[in-house]
Amino acid sequence: MSLRRFILKRFLAIIPILFGVSVITFALVHYTPGDPVQQMVGLNPDMTAAEEQAIRRRYGLHRPAHEQYFHWIANVLQGDFGQVYSSGRDVGSIVLMRLPETIALGIFGWVFALGIAIPTGIYAAVKKDQLGDTVSRFLALSGISIPNFWLGLMLILFFALILDLWPVLPPSRQPLYSPEMLWYLILPGVTVGTASAAAIMRVMRTSMAEEMNKDYVTAARAKGLPERKVVLKHVLRNSLISVVTLAALLTAGIVSGSIVVEVVFNWPGLGREFINALTQNEIDLIMAITLVTGVAIIIANLVADIMYAVLDPRIRYD
Amino acid sequence: MVQDTEISSPRINRRRVLQSVGAAGVVGLAGCLEGDEPAEEDDTGIGEEDVDPGEIVEGGTLRVGIGANADSFDGPYSTDTTSTLVQSVVFESLTITDSEGNLYPWLAEDFEVAETQDIERTDYEPYMRTVEAVEEGALPIEEQEIIRHPEDAVPEEGDEVRTLLFEDAEDAVDDGVFGMRIRYNLREGVEFHNGEEMTAEDVIASYDRLKLSDNAAQYFDSTLYYEAIDEYTVDIYGQLPDAEGARELPPMYVYPKELAELPPNDLDPRQGNDPIGTGPYVFDEMEDEQYVEYEKNDNYWVEQMGVDSLDWFEGDDDFPDGPVIDRIEMEIIPDDATRSGALQNDEIDVTTGLTRATLDDFDASEDFEVAGVETGGYEYFQPPIRVEPWDDQRLRQAFNHLVPREQIVENVLAGWARPAWTMIPELAQGAGTTDAQALEEELRPYNEYDPEQAEELAQEVFDEYGIEAPLEVTLEVNADNDDRVQMVELVAESMEQTGLFETEIETFEWTTYVARVLDPEYAERGVIGCIGLSGTFNPHSFCDALHHSSNHGACCNLSGVSFDWLDEMLDNARYGAEVAEDPDLRRERYDEIWRELEELAASAITHFDLQTSVRHESVKGWGQFPFHEGYLNYALFAPQDEQVIYIDE
């Protein structure tokens, strides 16, 4: 199968996956106890039954669940993601506004994770069972074990409150994609990327260590190739296959992990919006953010598959 | 308003964890809070300070950390307190209130209760039309429903319902059928931020915007009709003679007509419509979820006319004619720990809604001031009054004696609240009792922790009903409010220690819990519910919501308290020409109600919350308003209390 056909096939597979995600999410949100209109009644005790019904009708919440779903999906296919009940604002525009913030944070976290994990993993593998390896394994284990909200709070405490190098709040009046923002992305980006960096580093180390014991490495060394070239040209390429797969899978972790990090760092992205939506039972907003996250994860997996094949020509598209 | 947390917004567990860890981690470990001097206290609140007008420094930017996004600038279509907060510096109303609830004319130069008549809801019957109820009691009407015939209040689907619609109310008013009429004479020369003068037409348009809005029910439960008499005179008619009419009838905010006529939810900068009011600050810009900014209104009418133009102002001659701070920047920071960190890092000047542990740390610091004042928020338990043996008031009295109010306040709330020795908080005492101190002395013994008395009362009931101890009891509470859960645990422990009760605690996620307790069937479950509620300056809000039969299945008579005599007492303390015209009579009637309610013991209010804020010590003169939605507007400039803040750096 050609690469083009493979990509096309995978793109087509996205449709049923997203449909499944949307059905499951809708069912979960819908059947989870708690009703957005009931919550509004709780906040507005004078609301009459007629007014409650009027609000339900305005947002289509008076319909049976399955009708609500089909109505929602019909609207989504036309680009209408619904409205926020508390303010009547358009969900699509909210998601579009918040998405770049989360993407920026996710990309920074991901780049940080790879930037730390790959060289450290190589170093640990090369120095296997030596002090450097032990230290890097300890750091990796710590990185995996530390909850990212706690790490975020500690980074704020140390770098913002004690050293006064960063503000606690992101500079909301700076354009997101400005050079100045790079500085401010560091703390939340490091927090988002730390656990992934640790996981990738461990896989990198193991993979490298395995590769370095293989015959082709011995042969390369026997041919007199410099160790640096053996490691970086031959071993690294083969080791990266499992790392790429993991890195893609961890994209999901970065996206979901950023929810808590966005709250801690007051980062105005989809994660913080998702928390608000959950607490207020904003069904359309929850659905839209879930779909966007689902698409991101599927695309990340697709990219992983493609990279996998590019890195290892023995792998065939199927 | 059902109250979940201090800022009345529901929270999930993960966030609560963050709050706790954040408070402990950021504040505790930072080590930048020094000193241990207690907060300065006076009669009106904690940490408030008087301002010498001669020392006021003009200018500067006040940076405020707010705990939630501003959902909307569209008052009639926003129900959350944060939205009201961001609107409060831009828009103004016909009247204002001081921190004790006294009303003053504001955009209205004066107002008077021009007429009151003893009218009952049934007197509107000739003007009502009959419509058939559709699903769940809702009526297929597109006009504002004003009064439903009392006999048709909760119809089944298909039942015919008699109702008075807004378009028919005019006929009733024309025929002289109304409860009260309040005349508002508008101040001439008040200009909106766009330079247009405010007139009666704007007031009427603002009220029109409320019709059929999300907040319509709050206004049209008391308003009957409104009309412009001339360019600067508006009459607002109340359905019944209402002692709270002057507070309840005027529209929330006065909008310029062009904004008032916008479609629902469109009065918002995110919809391309900047808010324009008469207020002291002009909306500058906002970034959704990030910040809202305002500039001082250089054409503010109070400044133009001078504070002395307010007839009732009796303050210092040097008191400023308007707020002195030039610019306000509201930073939206939902997480408490982050807000606390931003305050310490000098990125904001003031914030509210911090955890109690954090408040203690800030309170002990020389660099920060904590202000607190008793608010309308309270928490309460309701035993299942309709279910045997809890239908015996002796058992409910026993339960009330097992609620350790002082322990709750000291141990659970770290002192940031006041035990509820009566059912009326300080802010409603002016209208709700003839002598607050005497009332407390009289009723406090009913509410004191007294296990011996409780055992005696409960044992009597057990013997009579042939109940063998321990009696199994389930207490219910929402899981996402740690303080409230601890409070329930404390009460459960207190009950178990008597050996007479075996308790079980069930917790629910907030939205689930709200739906559960608002279900009319909840009263039959036989459980003791615990929830919070936010009252107002109106004493009615501390007895009616919990005990009037009309609030069963609504908010917040959870256990279905329903007695005709009590309904009548509650109604007679607020409605009727006698109490509308005679505040002393009203206070006497409330005193009777508080006594009856203690005997009845249908509810056990545990404590009254404090509304708190923390600020840098450079922010001078801060006075804390009892309600979250009004605290900033009040602190900036409130001549009714000679309140003004400035920044002295």
Question: CB distance from A86 to chain B under 8 Å?
Answer: yes
8 Å CB contact of A88 and B29: no
Chain mean pLDDT for chain B: 89
Give the DSSP per-residue string, A92-153.
HHHHHHHHHHHHHHHHHHHHHHHHHHHHHHHHHHHTTTSHHHHHHHHHHHHHHHS-HHHHHH
Task: Give the pLDDT of residue B192.
Answer: 98
pLDDT bin (cut points 50, 70, 90) of residue B37 is: very low
Residues of chain B found within 8 Å of residue A45, distances taken between Cβ atoms:
1-2, 545, 551, 554-556
Q: How far apart are CA A103 and CA A109, in angstroms?
A: 10
Beta bridge partners of B113: B182
pLDDT cut 90: percent of chain B above it: 72
Angle separating helix axes A236-264 and B13-22, nearest 10 degrees = 80
Residue whose structure tokens are 């996956």:
A17
Segment holding B110, helix H or strand E: strand B108-116
Task: Give the pLDDT of residue B239.
Answer: 95
**Between B218 and A311, the higher pLDDT residue:** B218
User: Mean pLDDT lowest for which of A49-58, B16-25, B55-64, B426-435?
Assistant: B16-25
Q: Cα B327 to the chain's mean position, in Å?
A: 28
Which of B63, B11, B545 has the alpha carbon at shortest distance from B329?
Answer: B63
pLDDT in tens, B479-525: 988 899 999 999 999 999 999 999 999 999 887 888 888 888 999 99
Residue whose structure tokens are 């199968």:
A1
pTM of the model as a whole: 0.84
**Over residues A71-77, mean pLDDT:** 91
Residues of chain B found within 8 Å of residue A157, distances taken between Cβ atoms:
25-26, 29-30, 341
Q: How far apart are CA B605 and CA B145, in angstroms?
A: 34
Beta bridge partners of B104: B96
Compute φ and ψ for B309, nearest 5 degrees: -70, -15
**Between A59 and A66, the higher pLDDT residue:** A66
Question: CB distance from A34 to chain B under 8 Å?
Answer: yes
Question: CB distance from B484 to chain A under 8 Å?
Answer: no
Which of B104, B102, B97, B94 has the alpha carbon at shortest distance from B234?
Answer: B94
pLDDT bin (cut points 50, 70, 90) of residue A254 is: low
**Between B481 and B124, the higher pLDDT residue:** B124
Task: Give the pLDDT of residue B51.
Answer: 82
| Whether the bond into B470 is cis, omega within 30 of 0 | yes
B255 CA: distance to closest CA in chain A (Å): 18
Residue A191 has pLDDT above 70, yes or no: yes
User: Mean pLDDT lowest for which of B18-22, B591-595, B601-605?
Assistant: B18-22
pLDDT bin (cut points 50, 70, 90) of residue A133 is: confident
Kindly provide the ipTM of the predicted complex, given to two decimals. 0.78
Which of B255, B55, B348 has the alpha carbon at shortest distance from A266?
Answer: B348
pLDDT in tens, A146-176: 988 899 999 999 999 899 898 888 887 878 8
User: Mean pLDDT lowest for which of B69-78, B138-147, B403-412, B629-638?
Assistant: B138-147
Task: Give the pLDDT of residue B1.
Answer: 55
Question: CB distance from B57 to chain A under 8 Å?
Answer: no
Mean pLDDT comparison of A176-180, B324-328, B362-366, B515-519, highest-scoring range: B324-328
Answer for the pair B647, B57: CB distance below 8 angstroms, yes or no.
Answer: yes
Which pair of tokens denotes residue B143?
Answer: 């006009």
Classified as helix, coil or strand, B622 is coil
Residue B640 has pLDDT above 80, yes or no: yes
**Over residues B25-54, mean pLDDT:** 49
**Over residues B253-262, mean pLDDT:** 96
Q: How far apart are CA B88 and CA B633, in angstroms?
A: 6
User: Mean pLDDT lowest for which of A90-99, B139-148, B519-528?
Assistant: B139-148
Residue A156, CB half-sphere, CA atoms under 13 Å: how many?
A: 33
Residues of chain A found within 8 Å of residue B161, distances taken between Cβ atoms:
none
**Between A312 and B74, the higher pLDDT residue:** B74
pLDDT in tens, B386-427: 999 999 999 999 999 999 999 999 999 989 999 999 999 999
Question: CB distance from B13 to chain A under 8 Å?
Answer: no
pLDDT in tens, B332-358: 998 888 999 999 999 999 999 898 888
Residues of chain A found within 8 Å of residue B545, distances taken between Cβ atoms:
45
Task: Give the pLDDT of residue B181.
Answer: 97
Q: What is the DSSP letter of B277?
A: -
Q: How far apart are CA A278 and CA A232, in angstroms?
A: 47
Classified as helix, coil or strand, B215 is coil
**Over residues B32-60, mean pLDDT:** 63
User: Mean pLDDT lowest for which of A40-49, A115-124, A192-201?
Assistant: A40-49
pLDDT in tens, A199-235: 889 888 988 888 888 888 888 888 888 888 888 878 8
Which pair of tokens denotes residue B178?
Answer: 């109304």
**Between B139 and B398, the higher pLDDT residue:** B398
Residue A93 has pLDDT above 80, yes or no: yes
**Between B428 and A182, the higher pLDDT residue:** B428
The strand ranges marked E within B567-626 are: 604-616, 619-620
Q: How far apart are CA B618 and CA B499, in angstroms?
A: 55
Which pair of tokens denotes residue B412?
Answer: 């659970």
Residues found in chain B = 649
In the A/B pair of chains, how many CB contacts fall below 8 A?
201
Q: How far apart are CA B546 and CA B559, in angstroms?
A: 9
Residue B375 has pLDDT above 80, yes or no: yes
Q: How many CB atoms lie within 10 A of CB B406?
A: 12
Residues of chain A found within 8 Å of residue B222, distances taken between Cβ atoms:
none
Residue B40 has pLDDT above 60, yes or no: no
Chain mean pLDDT for chain A: 84
**Over residues A77-92, mean pLDDT:** 87
Which pair of tokens denotes residue B198?
Answer: 């405010």
